[in-house]
Amino acid sequence: YEKYKSPSGETLYATVGFAHVYQYYAYPQHTRPRIAQILILPTFARMGLGAELLKSIYRHYIGRDDVKDITVEDPAVEFQRVRDYVDAENCMTLPSFRRENLIGNFNKEMANEAQQKFKINRRQARRVYEILRLKITDMSNEEEYREYRLNVKRRLNIPFKRGSQDVRKLESALRDMDRKGPLPMLSSEQRMQALDKEYRELETEYKKVIQRLEVKSEE
């Protein structure tokens, strides 16, 4: 909210934004808060308030032993970008996410430390690892950049191997067809095209997060 004075000198409060967080059970005796919505009113947009609101939610739950981790319900692209920024900023303070560790593969130590310190779930911790590794990757170094791309693509390729619903999403992205109709199997070439397309879109999003992190570090 925004606190201000009326012409008569009365203290008033204006709504800036709000968030909905639901509590879910997590085995064996924990809770798993799920952020369902964060909204910043248009008047206050692009002022960094979305990130501040998310940080306030984190502060409420971090340190509570009964909270296993914090999840987000079907995040929009814009909110996922804010989440990536806040989580990356937090994880940059962790020993397991130091530069010498980022050049290796994502590991259990990273997942565990992100979960214990900031209630970040494993899937999001992996995403943060990819963002921070790209941040330190010399993209002018062909071999270094290639190793990074392969590392990310190996993760993106997992749904293809499992035959999960994620594969259908990738297939749908390549076809202009009735979504209700059956989806034929992709050829190896089509799968490679889908994988490359998803990677390029992901890298674009990662670069936006990195740019914000770099601006923050210069302040």
Q: Which two tokens stand for residue 41?
A: 């009113």
- Taking alpha carbons only, the member of 42, 75, 38 closest to residue 55 is 38
Q: Which amino acid is at 8?
A: S
Distance in angstroms (rounded) separating the CA atoms of residues 1 and 52: 12
**Which residue out of 73, 144, 201, 214 is catalytically annotated?**
73
Distance CA 191, CA 194 (A): 5
Helices assigned H by DSSP within 9-121: 49-61, 77-91, 99-102, 108-118
Q: What is the CA radius of gyration of the chain?
A: 20
Is-catalytic flag, 52?
no
Positions marked active-site: 73
